[in-house]
Structure 1
Amino acid sequence: MVRLLRISLPHLVASRYHYHNAGQRSRRLVSKIYNPANLWKESPSELQQKSNEPTSRSQRLMAKAGLIQPSSPGCFHYMPYTVRAMEKLIRLVDHAMQEIGGQKMDMTTLCSATLWKQSGRWDLVGKELFCLMDRHNQEYCLGPTHEESVTHLVATEGGITQKQLPLLLYQITRKFRDEKRPCFGLLRGREFYMKDMYTFDMTEEAAYQTYSNVCKAYSKLFHTLGLKYVKVQADTGNIGGKTSHEYHLPARIGEDRLMVCGSCDFAANVETLKDEEENCPACSGKLVESKGIEIGHTFYLGTKYSLVFNAVCYDSQGKSTIAEMGCYGIGISRLLAASIEVLSTEEDIHWPGLIAPYQICLIPPKKGSKEIAALPVAEELYDAICAVHHLRDEVVLDDRDHLTIGKRLREAHIMGYPYIIIAGKKALDSLPQFEVHNHKTGEVQFLSKEGVLSFVQEIQVV
């Protein structure tokens, strides 16, 4: 099993409190996390009026919670909470790709126009490319995808030996597309994060097996995130190739029209079907139309790029064959926003549990209230939870004690913490009880310190 590495954000928070034991980190305090939230400032209608664009539930919630801040049309700053969620999502994607043999790399953002013209995509993609010229009058584009770059790399490095096959190379980087009408926040932007994988095989049969393996990994990943997705047959578009599938989250604001059979597992993007086709081509069942947000796309490319750039594979006898290729994308930032879109309510964010920025928010009493005597008990509980190894980076203490418990609880629900623990009146009992909220189910229970520690042991993290 591939080991998942924890990436912490040590500089996001500071603390006025410190552990007494050497080597332990200071507490994560809500007041110290940079989060220019609009929780009580703007209504969804005001947000739409300011941006002059159609908005989505995910965009409104992420803006309200201070998770993203607009920079320019289709471009956003990601705030610390969002970066934590993104890093967790990337760890899950890394695990999924490396489990099937993927090797992570990082290709240049500046892509040579020469390569794109050689493949024919410079003019085909056209205005969607961000193009620029350097001081030597050399043309480049900011890469939206990297088929040309990776195929040229493999070709110029001498091809691939049989022992290296199948070769699966992937990256997770910022991509750029000059969207004519960016909208819906991170769902359709001009600058975004994407996982793009490129695979090389010696035969068509082997390439289709690799294609199947990647598709299975995608399905497993989306299932792990708790997302109900639809896999549909799709058009190959300007990327090209022989076979293509899209992965969608059904959603009212989805911009793709899908036709799904109610009798079998056939599903397709309407672009691939004949005009007015109402019956399933597989079983003749009734096709039902729905809308979807595309979160992943797979292509079997064949030799479309490898033939142009002469990317070859060598068998055990040293005989060369033009490589059979595939390419596979997941919109990382789009997947993050799309999951919020389909899981959340109109008022509160609901994250896929594994990628919530923090798993637990602990709310101590308000300063000056009758319950303030429970503050030491609350801090002891915080320290005890942090001592649970897999949760040491997953708990925040809402130290904004000038606010009532009720107001902080409301904000905690808006932010989408999966579990919220309150030290209120019952924390003053001779046997202190803590109020534990499950954000997903709405369940509330009162537990002792030991009960809380037993409860949180079961929380899963990436």
Structure 2
Amino acid sequence: MDVLMRHCKTHKLPTILSRTFLKALKRSHINCATHTSPPVSPPSKPTIPTPRVSRLFQPSNLREGQEGGELTCRSQRLMLQTGLIHPSNPGCFYYLPVALRSMEKLVRLIDEEMHAIGGQKVDMPALCSAKLWKTSGRWELMGKEMFRLQDRHNAEYCLGPTHEEAITELFASQSTVSYKKLPLLLYQVTRKFRDEQKPKFGLLRGREFYMKDMYSFDISEVAALDTYQSVCRAYGRLFDRLGLNWVQVQADTGNIGGTLSHEFQLPADIGEDRLLVCQNCGFSANVETMEPGQTHCSQCQTGVLSETRGIEVGHTFYLGTKYSQVFKALFVNASNEPSVAEMGCFGLGVTRILAASIEVLSSVDAICWPGLIAPFQVCVLPPKKGSKAQEATRISEDLAQSLGNSLANLKGEVVLDDRTQMTIGKRLKDAKILGYPYVVVVGQKALEDLPIFEVLRQRSGETMFLSKEGLVDLLSRVETI
């Protein structure tokens, strides 16, 4: 105010004008000081629309009761029948919306475990230069399983079946990496390509599939083996969280190379790998690594090895300097001198885990998902159109919307089966085949003064009758990813 008064005097403004102006300004100043603007409400969170079964793109590729000569396993038949996948060409599939929801959850779960041990996610080219593979000596070693091609300049490439060469070249391009940055664990989740001679079992053996592959760089063999064990433990936690029965077995290093290797197997009759397991000490090995006809355990010396079959879902390798020496993947050690990095590589078959979990957990006629990666956690069934309980349709819609938005763990996890032209029985059968962990039936009891809902817990076969409060309490404890 004083500054403005001096300004009026300096510029010789008329006294009346200056006094009038200053009085108005003063009144404005007082009003601003005594009257505050109404508080601004925080923006409301958008309401997630409830997915409806009638709108899902989920075409069945298998008529009920149809027997196909190519349908050689449970998971393949169930995934085709329920519209999770659709065949494209031999060994390749479309991943349809419901299956993709499950796979994305699986990837988030894998990300959690890899980040917990220091993994950093990258994305490498699927198109790999033949020059790298020839440098490592694997261009011819990979044989006919590798998809090879040439560009318009006659340069040779392959569609990456694995990425040891690519990641080692990437590390080698950074010649000043300090030992203080090691161990370095880089991983990706991407499509891989292998020209399988006889693709079969749906997603269990295909030509195009998703894999998580991680590559580690360490300062020494001791450090590299410590990293190796860390990743193996992370794999074990992953399979435990999925509720899968798994076994870690001694394995052959194959054309990946290295001096130490283990497979993570899910015991299953359909499995292509033969495993020997000691019931006395727990030692396990792929038959390929044992002497022909060996029946005694080489670890405890007293146990007898029994044979079983398994589906390989993960594989780990200690590579040493097999690739880092060739590509000059160096780091600067504590003496400020260049040193060759010790490496490991670690794979998880993402789409194979998806299919294998269905294979080992499901019954002949119904999918049972690992709880964390079920596409939807809850399915709400309104009454049939024209039934006595038809008035409960609105209650069903409100319930589905409320559960899917008010419970933090069920955001987007509730689906409404709005096909009310079908009976409850038919929709219950579909819900069982699709394996929703929880099914809520809204019937006549939902119209009572104290609404009661029928709740089916699919995995245990348990049926409960709960109030809305009881239902919310039950579902609020469902673990999601």
Structure number with bigger Rg:
2
**8 Å contact from structure 1 (residues 155, 312) kept in 2:** yes
Distance apart, 1:455 and its partner CA: 1.0
Quick one: which of 379, 390, 393 aligns to 2:409?
A: 390
Match of 1:370 in 2: 388
Which aligned pairs between 1:309-458 and structure 2 lie closer than 5 A? 309-386=327-404, 387-458=406-477
Quick one: which of 65, 85, 88 aligns to 1:43?
A: 65
**8 Å contact from structure 2 (residues 50, 412) kept in 1:** no
Separation in structure 2 between the aligned mates of residue 38 and residue 238 of structure 1, nearest angstrom: 37
Taking structure 2 as the reference length, the TM-score comes to 0.89
Quick one: which of 290, 293, 299 aligns to 2:311?
A: 293
Match of 2:192 in 1: 175
State whether structure 2 residue 257 is matched by structure 1 residue 240.
yes
Which residue identity is paired with 2:313? I
Separation in structure 2 between the aligned mates of residue 44 and residue 94 of structure 1, nearest angstrom: 38
State whether structure 2 residue 124 is matched by structure 1 residue 104.
no
Quick one: which of 16, 32, 43 aligns to 2:55?
A: 32
**8 Å contact from structure 2 (residues 175, 331) kept in 1:** no
Match of 1:252 in 2: 269
Which residue identity is paired with 1:189? G
Distance apart, 1:379 and its partner CA: 2.0
SS in 1 for 2:325: helix
Distance apart, 1:23 and its partner CA: 2.6
Q: What is the total number of aligned residue pairs between the two structures?
A: 436
Quick one: which of 183, 206, 218 aligns to 1:189?
A: 206
**8 Å contact from structure 1 (residues 434, 446) kept in 2:** yes
SS in 2 for 1:309: coil
Distance apart, 1:147 and its partner CA: 0.1
**8 Å contact from structure 1 (residues 301, 327) kept in 2:** yes
Post-superposition Cα deviations, 1:211-257, rounded to whole Å, max 9, x if no partner, equal 01000100111101100101000000000000000000000000000
Post-superposition Cα deviations, 1:252-291, rounded to whole Å, max 9, x if no partner, equal 0000000000100210000000011000001121000000
Distance apart, 1:25 and its partner CA: 2.6
SS in 2 for 1:55: coil
Match of 2:12 in 1: none
SS in 1 for 2:190: strand
**Structure 1 unmatched ranges of 5 or more:** 1-20
Which residue identity is paired with 2:450? L
Distance apart, 1:318 and its partner CA: 1.7
Q: CA RMSD in A?
A: 1.2
Distance apart, 1:54 and its partner CA: 5.3
Distance apart, 1:159 and its partner CA: 5.1
Match of 1:229 in 2: 246
Which aligned pairs between 1:103-122 and structure 2 lie closer than 5 A? 103-122=120-139
Quick one: which of 323, 328, 343 aligns to 1:305?
A: 323
Q: Against the structure 1 CA distance between its residues 38 and 437, is the aligned structure 2 distance closer, same or farther, given a 3 Å change threshold?
A: farther
Taking structure 1 as the reference length, the TM-score comes to 0.93
Distance apart, 1:409 and its partner CA: 0.6
State whether structure 2 residue 76 is matched by structure 1 residue 59.
yes
Post-superposition Cα deviations, 1:63-97, rounded to whole Å, max 9, x if no partner, equal 00000000000000000001100000000000100
**8 Å contact from structure 2 (residues 383, 393) kept in 1:** yes
Separation in structure 1 between the aligned mates of residue 244 and residue 457 of structure 2, nearest angstrom: 19
SS in 2 for 1:435: strand
Q: Against the structure 1 CA distance between its residues 278 and 54, is the aligned structure 2 distance closer, same or farther, given a 3 Å change threshold?
A: farther
**8 Å contact from structure 1 (residues 103, 170) kept in 2:** yes
Separation in structure 2 between the aligned mates of residue 277 and residue 335 of structure 1, nearest angstrom: 30
4+ runs deviating over 4 angstroms: none
Q: Against the structure 1 CA distance between its residues 434 and 305, is the aligned structure 2 distance closer, same or farther, given a 3 Å change threshold?
A: same
**Structure 2 unmatched ranges of 5 or more:** 1-43
**8 Å contact from structure 1 (residues 195, 329) kept in 2:** yes
Separation in structure 1 between the aligned mates of residue 60 and residue 465 of structure 2, nearest angstrom: 30
State whether structure 2 residue 106 is matched by structure 1 residue 84.
no
Post-superposition Cα deviations, 1:168-227, rounded to whole Å, max 9, x if no partner, equal 000000000000000000000000000000000111000000001000100111101100
